[in-house]
Structure 1
Amino acid sequence: MASAALLLSLVSAAPSATAEQSASGALQRSFAAAATEYGVPERVLLGVSYLQSRWDGHGGAPSVTGGYGPMHLTDAKAALADAPHHSHGAEDARGDDARASRSALEAEIQDLAALPARLRTLERAAELTGIPEEELRTSPAANVRGGAALLADAQRRLGEEPSADPADWYGAVARFSGADDTATATTYADDVYDVMRSGQHRITDTGQQVALPADTSLRPDTATAGGLGLRTVDEDLTECPRTVACEWIPAPYEEFGEGDYGNHDKANRPSSQSIDYIVIHDTEASWDTTLQLVQDPEYVSWQYSLRSSDGHIAQHLRLKDVGWHAGNWFVNAKSIGLEHEGFLVNPDAWYTEAMYRTSARLVRYLAQRYDIPLDRQHIIGHDNVPGTVPSTIPGMHTDPGPYWDWAHYFTLLGRPFVPSAGPRAAAVTIRPDYAQHQPPYTSCAEPGDTCAPHGSGAVRLHTAPDASAPLVKDIGLRPGGGDSTDGVNDTGARASTGQQYAVAERRGEWTAIWYLGQKAWFHNPRTQRTAVNVRARVLTPRDGLAEVPVYGRAYPEASAYPAGVPVQAVTPLPYKLLAGQRYVVGERTAGEYYFATTFDSTDHTVVRGEELYYQIQFGHRVAFVKAADVRVLNT
């Protein structure tokens, strides 16, 4: 409040245009001054900072791995949590009621004294500069000085002389990554030099204008990385693009008595079943804890883990096999799971540019390999996966949550969300300005507390075109009819960036969409749009039907099951798609069920029926309807 009062007084003083320009250029000058002080080329300093934070300071709050400021100086004590991601809520990560679930394990808190150097760079920066740690956390100028000191120290440790030529700093940049293997360190350095070659400019989260001019002729001296002395990772079985650093750390497939086994299922995808989805998660645990968990046969599994500090990737399952990660067996059997190191409910959760870029490269590679469309019907968050039956809806997970920057992520994927229709379009894509759009959230650290202000890709949905109107209700999430809230984990009245919805009505600065069988209104002013108009296929109940059931999985009809494979009930969720309502169409699929309840994979069977389904964007989560119940329209 004091800061806000100070800002108000400054605004009321009506500074000159020159003064405003001077204030907005302060961070750029800090980079120049730090570069001069420590003998680091300014271009190198700007490139490293962009890959860490895109030059944002995040108000002095830590990233998901305890990194602070534009240089992401790390003090990971702020990021450690006491429970693993898959122990949250009541979700069974496998999501198949044909096989009994087991309770999730609890993770031990990591020994703070054993934290690797990559998670303690702020401490080292304080030693090198003499700047107090608190100042390095909260002052962007001090933080930049700390980063420059670390780069100069890395150059010195490699036995290299200070140089004004950015090409001579490749090894120091690789060391700055904190990676413990050569492939990750050099991939990180390659990314920094790619930023320097292509150039960047943007306005930061505090209104600072920062620019890094392009230098297409820049070619780094990669020989300067020869003295890093880092380990070589096992890449033999990895399935990754060449542009990332990928390590094989296998998840176990073991039997441990009484018909129980873990932590995944053997399969033969895509020959047996198509892979249609990529599911984005965050780990809710530190990197070391994440690796310990996925290597435990009594835990659950996913295909890839991604490290926040440098974008390093670990692959745990062959892509032909099925991981237990999404809480919905139909989705698990047809998806690939990516776990990103981070904590959804950290008060100012943000992810490094290094991890966003690595993740985007991996997703592009997977999408091309399996012909997966790059849209939000197929690249989904764990929080978009539907409950399988009514009883599982309240326990479904909510990561990566409202702080994941879907707009930036899809720009990196080469598929930015852009308008494709005029003002009277029948559908919209949710797309608020991430940095400027800061809806309040609660219950980040403690129940009911107010989360720190932060950019968000999610918009709130109301029962009427009025900010004071109640939020829409989710009868599946709250069967008793309770109200939706602004809790960070409450998805009951939330639409997320990239999701597409059919327009129900427009009124002034407000737009209504069809959502969970009701009209849901969001503020969409012309001066700051929270959605763009698009063309999309939609569906509605076929003529003569007053309502259509909605499902959480697309299972075959009973007659499709062979002898020996128990018929899985096609159980509707507690929602209805009513006559006159429309929903955007995603995947069209035949009913499928992968029967895999035994350790011996020779008994595993794919059951494929004649019943066809459409996936739809029904609420915050996707859902399925039978093709025979609806008609599809082009808008």
Structure 2
Amino acid sequence: MPSFPTSRRSTARRTAAAAVLACGGLAAALLAPGTASASGSAPAAAGASARASGGTQAAYAAAAARHHVPESVLLAVGYLESRWVDHGGKPSTSGAYGPLGLTQVPGAKADAPGTHTLAAAARLTGASATRLRTDPDSNIDGGAALLASYARALGHGSLPTTLAAWYPAVAKYSGSATTAGAKAFADDAWNVLRSGAANTLPNGGSVALGAQPAAKADTAGLSALGLAGPATSTLKPECPANLDCNYVPAAYALNDPTDPTSYGDYDIADRPHGMKVTQIVLHDTEESYDNTLGTFTNPASYVSAHYVVRSGDGLVTQMVPTKDVAWQAGNWYTNMHSVGIEQEGYAVQGASWFTEEMYRSTSRLVHYLAAKYRVPLDRQHIIGHDNVPGPTSSSVAGMHWDPGPYWDWAHFMKLAGAPLPSHGPANGPLVTINPDFARNLQVTLDCENGNAPQPAQASSFVPLYTAPSDTAPLFADPGLHSSGTGTQCANDWGDKASSGQVFAVAARQGDWTAIWWDGSEVWFKNPAGAPVIRPARGAYITPKAGLASIPVYGRAYPEASAYPSDIPVQAVSAYSQYTVKAGQRYALGGAVPTDYYRSVTIDGTAPGDRTDVVGTTKYLQIQLGHRVAYVLASDVDVRFAP
């Protein structure tokens, strides 16, 4: 379980500074970035089976034939469980192993739904648990056996005779304890059947499922599963209709009955009236779903999020109304203007991959929230905790870095309805970072746990160097390093450009491209045969003529004259580590509100409490580096990249 600080409105999961500095000289010796190519996962041509290369496709065909499961159904389930990737025998954030997501959850009760499917598959096939965990073909066979056993049980000993009749068995395979969760999984499987899917695997092979647009589903068979119906809570979650959601209220209570300022875990507000919601922040929990709920229902934890997403089945639990301000981002200005979503998972330690159920649930939630609050579906507005700016110079090094380098931003944004550019030459003044996640195999170090090297695995970042050479030092972000070089530490966000982020090109040299980053010119490798960038359109800023440099801010607070006499003036202080120098260019995210929300008591009784102070100073948001930041509109010219 992560530790939490005693100060309000900040969290302590995945801070960076000390661990990054400890990583030191191991970086150069271990640096081994993999090649990358543009992401491409277009649906295959029509037909239930498919054209594909490699042995994985054959393993699905063999398992389907052996256990009399339609191959297309088995492929659809495998796609939802893992996108057909075996992950090297490592568990997911929900304790699932292999392409078919067979589960082995330590400490789970024997009758807990969906937590011991690996043992069940072992009984059905005779394969050992170790083999089912580590051998992809055996795992696929075990998943097929398990799916067939569910279908026989539901069919009183007989297997379904139509594709549609497999729907209830697929719903049971989800492991969800609720009808809504099981239905969401099976609906997704049938959507995959209808649209088709294809994926390139880390080993260079590929798997494909041809589209069956007319595939029907026996949804009436869900009732035979005997699962729980909708929750009976009087609190209705703010969720789209196609998402399995419940509501567990976060704590809103005093810790000291005599002190109205000693409360947790969020602040009452009335968004979007007054304060606008302009961003959605994704986190990972670094602990279990149950422990996270326990933390957020404890007023002494001084931390919360609006939503928590469970890994195993994608259940979404709302904990704070979106009109209110959750204490989730480590930057009060970001808290004021964002909705926070915690996802059960681990950035490095504890598990190696995020589940497809969680990707899909979070993406549906984000799409819904973005439409509700008119938040742009781009990577300056749909951000990770690792993209939140430190509010002040002293806080930059301690900012969190979840969901980390292994969160697949390209896949997530596609599911959310805003796919990243994946084709075309990146010859313009702006470029989008977009390596092929599956083939972008990067080695990082877990510098919070003894600098342990992590296996090369699919990653969503490209490393940044000080010169166009594989032997050049990694860039040392001045917010993390007072001297020396950057590192391969997973939490050294200062030398990692993330998928979906847009930057201005500073220079090009052969297979190398330079961008403006945190006030400096940095380089990354962009081979012609395996590009890691794609075109970008939009606006960018550059300092006005005659200015040698301009200040950069971590929050857009009002000028002193905007504050009424009963509200303390909040300092407007530029970063000491970063400036934007003459001639540099940074992608523009847009104008942002200039305000400060005063909320310091549980009942709103302090002078000026629950007041949003609005200023007249105009700020613009930019992609400064790995994190966003703010500049004064009066300091810059805005230009457009067609």
When normalised by structure 1's length, the TM-score is: 0.88
Tell me, yes or no, if structure 1 residue 596 matches structure 2 residue 599: yes
1:312-347 alpha-carbon deviations (Å, 9 max, x no partner):
111111110110111001001100111111111038
SS of the equivalent of 1:532 reads strand
Partner of 1:521: 523
Change in 2 beyond 3 A, CA 1:343/1:419? closer
In 2, the alpha carbon distance for the partners of 1:371 and 1:112 equals: 41
Tell me the alpha carbon deviations over residues 584-630 of structure 1, each in whole angstroms, 9 at most, x when there is no partner.
Answer: 11130231111111111362110110001011111111111111121
Aligned to 2:124: 128
What is the aligned partner in structure 2 of residue 617 from structure 1? Answer: 623
Say yes or no: does 1:471 pair with 2:468: no
Q: 1:380: how far off?
A: 0.5
Alignment pair present for 1:76 and 2:105: yes
**Aligned residue among 54, 63, 75 for 2:92:** 63
Pair 445,256 (structure 1): closer, same or farther in 2 beyond 3 Å: closer
Contact 1:509 1:523 in 2 (8 A): yes
Rounded to whole Å, the distance in 2 between the matches of 1:485 and 1:41 is 48
> Does 516-525 or 42-51 show the bigger shift?
42-51
Cα 1:444/1:36, change in 2 over 3 Å: farther
Inter-partner Cα distance in structure 2 for 1:264 and 1:528: 46
Match of 2:55 in 1: 26
State the distance in 1 between where 2:544 and 2:427 align: 24
CA distance in 1, matches of 2:493, 2:619: 24
Which aligned pairs between 1:143-222 and structure 2 lie closer than 5 A?
143-160=139-156, 161-222=158-219
Residue 383 of structure 2 is aligned to residue 380 of structure 1? yes
| Counterparts of 1:421 and 1:563, CA distance in 2 | 56
Matching residue of 1:3: none
1:113-152 C-alpha deviation (Å, 9 max, x unpaired): 6793423221221122211011101111110111112212
Pick closer, same or farther for the CA change 1:289–1:156 going to 2, 3 Å.
Answer: farther
Residue identity opposite 1:593 in structure 2: Y
Q: Does 1:240 align with 2:239?
A: yes
**Could you tell me which residue of structure 2 aligns to residue 494 of structure 1?**
496
Could you give the per-residue CA deviations for residues 85-110 of structure 1, whole angstroms, max 9, x where no partner exists? Answer: xxxxxxxxxxxxxxxxxxxxxxxxxx
Question: Does structure 2 retain, via aligned residues, the 8 Å contact 1:502–1:582?
Answer: yes
Residue in 2 aligned with 1:414? 417
The residue aligned with 2:311 is: 308
Q: Please, which moves more after superposition, 522-531 or 446-455?
A: 446-455
Alignment of 1:33-432 (within 5 A): 33-77=62-106, 111=107, 116-160=112-156, 161-234=158-231, 236-257=235-256, 258=259, 259-299=261-301, 300-346=303-349, 349-418=352-421, 424-432=427-435
Segment of structure 1 superposing worse, 152-161 or 601-610: 152-161
Q: Which moved more, 1:442-451 or 1:181-190?
A: 442-451
2:562 corresponds to 1:556: no
Q: Which amino acid aligns with 1:149?
A: A
The answer to whether the Cα contact below 8 Å between 1:39 and 1:163 also exists between their aligned partners in 2 is no
Letter in 2 for 1:611: T
Secondary structure of 1:610's aligned partner:
coil
Contact 1:421 1:534 in 2 (8 A): no
Aligned to 1:4: none
- Runs of 5+ consecutive residues of structure 1 not aligned to the other structure: 1-20, 78-110
In the alignment, residue 279 of structure 2 is paired with which amino acid?
Y
Percent identity among equivalent residues?
47
Shift of 1:35: 2.1
Q: Kindly indicate whether structure 1 or structure 2 has the higher relative contact order, using CA contacts under 8 Å at least 6 residues apart.
A: 2
- The range that moved more, 145-154 or 51-60, is 145-154
Structure 1 residue 52, shift from structure 2 partner: 0.6
Residues 350-409 of structure 1: CA deviation (Å, up to 9, x unaligned): 222222122111111111111111101100110000111111111110011111111111
Contact kept? 1:430, 1:495, Cα under 8 Å: yes
Distance 1:217 1:452, change over 3 A: same
**Post-superposition CA distance 1:437-457 (Å, at most 9, x none):** 112211178322211111111
Q: Which amino acid in 2 is paired with 1:628?
A: S
Distance (whole Å) between structure 2 residues aligned to residue 513 and residue 423 of structure 1? 13
| More displaced stretch, 463-472 vs 283-292 | 283-292
Are 2:52 and 2:206, in contact at CA under 8 Å, matched by a contact in 1? Answer: no
Work out whether residues 201 and 212 of structure 1, in 8 Å CA contact, stay in contact via their aligned partners in 2: yes
Q: Could you tell me which amino acid in structure 1 is paired with residue 276 of structure 2?
A: S
Whole-angstrom CA distance in 1 between matches of 2:189 and 2:327: 35
CA 593–65 in structure 1, closer or farther in 2 if over 3 Å, else same: same
Say whether the 8 Å CA contact 2:465–2:495 is kept in structure 1.
Answer: yes
Q: Deviations over 1:555-586 (max 9, x none)?
A: 00000011211100011112111111111111
* Counterpart for residue 90 of structure 1: none
